[in-house]
């Protein structure tokens, strides 16, 4: 099977939808020889910030001489982005060989896309003999296909309302789902969490006899200093390669994980790893300047908290633009109305579109939500063409493409112009 056929086969597994539960993954991994048991892992969950934090951690480890695996989702442009070792994506050959070899078994058991992708990643990392793997959960935690690990460390970046139809209507229920990746003996690290969420995480840590490290105990917000192993790092002096004040906390959380899990890694390696994260991991879509003059910003904010983070950063520069335009698209299970309500006052024009993905919110549904809110939104059937044409606008105009990573990825994949 060639690579194109293998990828077509993989993506066709989306037809089996999302299956919550670990039985399929456990059975597949046993069939593969349980490669996950050979891996030293850092397991990351969270509503926002998990991709950035995972990338910061992987970059620091790489700068410190570790052969580091990084598993994230979804991808922006090509599938290979999901499975990376020291910044190098999994090869087409491995993907095609894996799918070809196990096609009959996959078909027999009707595994989902994410179950197969997770097994592929674990098998690849084990065969490549990585030193440490940084693994991002897909959805939730308890029933996520990645939750078959015995990690060295568990990281919970943030918890807010999301996937309530699956994870629960209450914040404590969502917290319990994500905290379920905490395993006996692992060190547990948390970002800024609501008090009621902290209680859930603390209870789980006590049950599993895990040491808990909270970012609030390591960061002095007044001085903006990070205390690592009795050494102070001024967060303002680190050249964090992605914009957003909230990214300082993701970087600080990553540094906290490293300093307490790998105490021999020094301060210089931590700072260098943070500053080189984009180069080392290919991190993108986080307040990313896709084009300048006119300005085009890509941001993967996909829930209300993510939108608030975006707005807090955008306010620092929005007055520089004569005209501000939003192109918005999201998944159907997101709080679309809440996000649009927060965004409406930041833009002169709001354009909406539909993502080429089975879980995408239909553009008519988004339009209905806009009408309910009194937002005069313009439907864009061809988002790639819309963004391409915007490049020819006046230099002082700004377009923000925001919502799902799938929207950003579809546009990036379809662009044929040179981006500056």
Residue 45 belongs to a domain:
yes
3-state secondary structure 274-325: HHCHHHHHCCCCCCEEEECCCEEEEECCCCHHHHHHHHHHHCCCHHHCCEEE
Rounded-to-integer distance, Cα 22 and Cα 256, Å:
30
Q: What is the CATH number of the domain that holds 83?
A: 3.40.1190.10
Per the CB < 8 A criterion, the answer to whether 351 and 325 are in contact is yes
Same domain assignment for residues 318 and 179: no
Rounded-to-integer distance, Cα 313 and Cα 297, Å:
12
Give the residue from 237, 265, 281 where a domain finishes.
Answer: 281
Rounded-to-integer distance, Cα 17 and Cα 15, Å:
5
pLDDT of amino acid 165 = 54
pLDDT per residue rounded down to tens, the chain (420 residues): 899 999 999 999 887 666 667 999 999 999 999 999 999 999 999 989 999 999 999 999 999 999 999 999 999 999 999 999 999 999 999 999 999 999 999 999 999 999 999 999 999 999 999 999 999 999 878 889 999 999 999 999 998 766 555 565 688 888 999 999 999 999 999 999 999 999 999 999 999 999 999 998 988 877 778 887 667 888 888 999 998 888 999 999 999 999 999 999 999 999 999 999 999 999 999 999 999 999 999 999 989 999 999 999 999 999 999 999 999 999 888 899 999 999 999 999 999 999 887 788 999 999 999 999 999 999 999 999 999 999 999 999 999 999 989 999 999 998 875 555
Residue 132 belongs to a domain:
yes
Residue 419 belongs to a domain:
no
Same domain assignment for residues 323 and 233: no
* 3-class DSSP assignment, residue 71: strand
Give the residue from 252, 281, 310 where a domain finishes.
Answer: 281
Give the residue from 281, 298, 315 where a domain finishes.
Answer: 281
Nearest of 45, 69, 68, 31 to residue 146 by alpha carbon = 45
Q: What is the CATH number of the domain that holds 353?
A: 3.90.190.20
Same domain assignment for residues 143 and 274: yes
Same domain assignment for residues 269 and 319: no
pLDDT of amino acid 18 = 64
Residue 420 belongs to a domain:
no
The residue segments making up the domain with residue 402 are 288-414
pLDDT of amino acid 397 = 98
Same domain assignment for residues 221 and 317: no
Structural domain total, the chain: 2
Same domain assignment for residues 40 and 149: yes
Same domain assignment for residues 75 and 180: yes
């Amino acid at each position: 099977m060639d690579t194109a056929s293998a990828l077509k086969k993989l993506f066709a597994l989306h037809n089996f939808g999302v299956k919550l539960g670990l039985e399929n993954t456990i059975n597949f991994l046993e069939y593969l020889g349980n490669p996950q048991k050979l891996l030293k892992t850092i397991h990351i969950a969270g509503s926002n910030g998990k991709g950035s934090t995972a990338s910061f951690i992987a970059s620091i480890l790489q700068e410190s001489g570790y052969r580091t695996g990084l598993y994230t989702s979804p991808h922006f442009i090509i599938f290979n982005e999901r499975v990376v070792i020291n910044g190098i994506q999994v090869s087409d050959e491995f993907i095609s060989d894996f799918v070809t070899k196990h096609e009959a078994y996959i078909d027999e058991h009707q595994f989902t896309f994410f179950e197969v992708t997770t097994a592929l990643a674990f098998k690849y990392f084990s065969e490549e003999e990585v030193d440490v793997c940084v693994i991002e959960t897909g959805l939730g935690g308890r029933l996520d296909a990645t939750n078959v690990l015995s990690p060295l460390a568990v990281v919970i970046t943030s918890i807010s309302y999301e996937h309530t139809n699956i994870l629960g209507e209450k914040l404590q229920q969502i917290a319990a789902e994500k905290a379920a990746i905490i395993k006996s003996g692992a060190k547990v690290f948390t970002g800024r969490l609501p008090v009621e969420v902290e209680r859930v995480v603390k209870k789980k840590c006590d049950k599993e006899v895990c040491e808990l490290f909270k970012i609030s105990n390591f960061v002095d917000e007044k001085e903006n200093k990070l205390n690592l192993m009795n050494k102070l790092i001024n967060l303002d002096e680190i050249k964090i390669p992605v914009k957003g004040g909230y990214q300082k906390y993701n970087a600080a959380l990553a540094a906290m994980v490293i300093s307490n899990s790998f105490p021999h890694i020094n301060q210089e390696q931590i700072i260098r790893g943070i500053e080189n994260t984009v180069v080392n991991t290919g991190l993108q879509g986080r307040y990313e300047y896709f084009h300048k003059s006119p300005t085009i910003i890509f941001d993967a904010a996909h829930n209300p908290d993510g939108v608030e983070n975006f707005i807090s950063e955008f306010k620092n520069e929005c007055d520089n633009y004569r005209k501000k335009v939003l192109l918005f698209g999201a998944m159907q299970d997101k709080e679309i109305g809440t996000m649009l309500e927060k965004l409406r006052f930041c833009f002169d024009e709001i354009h909406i579109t539909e993502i080429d993905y089975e879980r995408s919110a239909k553009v008519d549904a988004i339009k209905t939500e806009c009408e309910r809110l009194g937002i005069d939104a313009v439907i864009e059937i061809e988002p790639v063409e819309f963004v391409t044409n915007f490049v020819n606008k006046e230099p002082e105009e700004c377009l923000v493409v925001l919502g799902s990573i799938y929207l950003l990825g579809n546009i990036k994949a379809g662009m044929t112009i040179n981006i500056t």
